[in-house]
Amino acid sequence: MKQLAYVMFSVVYYIACLLPVNKDRYFCVMTHDASDDSSVGVVVKAIKKKYPNAVFTYVKKEDRKLLSLAGLIFVKAAYLAVSGTVLMDNEFLPLAYTKIRKNVNVIQLWHGTGTIKKFGHDISEGRMLRLVSRADSRITHLIVNSDYTKDLYHKAFGVSKDRIYVTGIPRTDILFSEEGKKRCMEEFFNVYSFLKGRKLILYAPTFRDNEVKSPKCMIDFDRWVSEADDDTVLLIRLHPHVSASYDDANLKKYNGKVVNVSSYDDVNTLLFVSDALITDYSSIIFEYILLNRPMYFYAYDLKLFADDDRGFYENYEEYVPGQVVLNMDELMDAVKSEDRYENIRLSFKNAAYRYTDGKSTERFMELLS
């Protein structure tokens, strides 16, 4: 079914190639995050401000559903053919069945600002690897934060290093803005007024391939509520791939001490309002590191993840900038303990970022022009 859809997409694309390319048209793949503050969303705002005549076509997660698939194949394929620039936050496999036209920019902004776990070409196999490799070969610009990330993405995307640009990630600029921080926090507490003045700890686990239809939260909420300070609230932010399937009805019994904020669009806001972060293998740490706040790495399935799942680029326990805990006993002890990782976080940030000036969008726009 998918292969047939890709072929039909390519047929429409090649027919539309009879029309000229419009340099003012942008084709935006936002299948990971379609919000205004996402990897592509931030860039779109900057383009609209600088180029008022720009026209945009969007491909979002919903376009992969059956009812929207016809529009993707018969309408948006034609728009791709006449677009002068393609902006992406994810893989877009229809590119594997198309040949990008001359002087068209295909820009991969990706949805993560770095990576702990292996991905892309480093984990794909067989037919999927062939598809992803063909699609990624169309990339003309791959945007990263640092030379370290450049080396990793060179392998993960199969893109030559002369097409990888260390401009910084535009969507992290807001994390350097006091004005942006104030605005985001005001908007959040307008929605969640009962959380104002509380100590907020964000739990943001990574996506696990086997949890798409039945995501789990491996924190013992009963124990958390009984042992955490009275003013401490646990915020849950699940990965976009699984959040819609999570049943949070049982959280009501905790009277606001465990709150599911997965539906809140702006992840940066969740980082701003959180006093600490609990995660595992998620790339969210590469954004949170900029705030220099405590992080706890609840890696309850570390051996399984390292040996049988995706695996890591580095020795996990030595690499992450915070305490690694393997069970609830260790997690509760860590959360109650004094923070000892400030210098380690500083070293991690310096390795993860070439620029910490909040001007990544400016550098990207210079590259685009």
pLDDT mean values, one per 10 residues, the chain (369 residues): 87 97 98 92 97 97 75 92 98 96 97 92 92 97 97 96 98 95 96 96 82 73 93 88 61 90 90 97 95 97 79 94 97 95 97 96 95
CATH topology of domain 2-168+359-368: Rossmann fold (3.40.50)
State the residue for tokens 């907020």: 200
The per-residue pLDDT of the chain, averaged, comes to 92
The residues that bridge with 108 in the sheet, in sequence order, are: 88, 142
Common-topology check for domains 2-168+359-368 and 174-352? yes
Residue 159 · residue 132 · CB < 8 Å: no
| Residue spans per domain, the chain | 2-168+359-368, 174-352
Closest CA to 224 of 248, 264, 256: 256
How far, in Å, are 23, 42, 175, 176, 270 from residue 36 at the CA level?
22, 6, 15, 17, 15
- Smallest CA-to-CA distance from 216 within 310, 123, 301 is with 301
Q: What is the model's pLDDT at position 3?
A: 83
What per-residue confidence (pLDDT) applies to 67? 60
pLDDT at 69: 78
Quick one: which of 87, 82, 24 has its CA closest to 59? 87
Task: Answer for the pair 178, 186: CB distance below 8 angstroms, yes or no.
Answer: no
Q: Which CATH architecture does the domain made up of 174-352 adopt?
A: 3-Layer(aba) Sandwich (3.40)
CA distance linking residue 177 with residue 358, whole number of Å:
7
The per-residue pLDDT for 65 is 72
Q: Which amino acid is at 340?
A: R
Tokens, residue 349: 């940030």
Identify the H or E element spanning 260: strand 258-260
